[in-house]
Amino acid sequence: MSQTSAPHSAATIVELLASDLPASCPNPNMSAWNSHPRVFIDVSHGHATCPYCGTEYRLKAGEIVKGH
């Protein structure tokens, strides 16, 4: 998992590998003082945004999610 910090006016983008799934937010790189309830992020369509903090989660280019 790689996290790219943007200026305060923009949301954070987290790139995920298929092996990082299932993804949840807040992620381990976030500060505990700034956390919100844990939610699972569905990136099966390539990207998703956390409804609490606006962090955007994306699959890294070329990653394939293998499901049931």
Question: Looking at residues 3-26, what average pLDDT do you find?
Answer: 77
Structure tokens at 43: 């990136």
Q: Which range is least confidently modeled, 3-7, 21-25, 60-64?
A: 3-7
Q: What digits encode the pLDDT tens for the residues 20-61?
A: 999 999 988 888 877 899 999 999 889 999 999 999 999 999
DSSP E strands in the chain: the ranges are 2-4, 13-16, 23-25, 39-41, 47-49, 56-59
Residue 1 to residue 14: CA distance in whole angstroms: 7
Helix ranges restricted to H, the chain = none
Q: What is the residue extent of each domain of the chain?
A: 2-59
pLDDT value at residue 8: 40
The CA distance from 16 to 45, in Å, is: 13
pLDDT at 9: 39
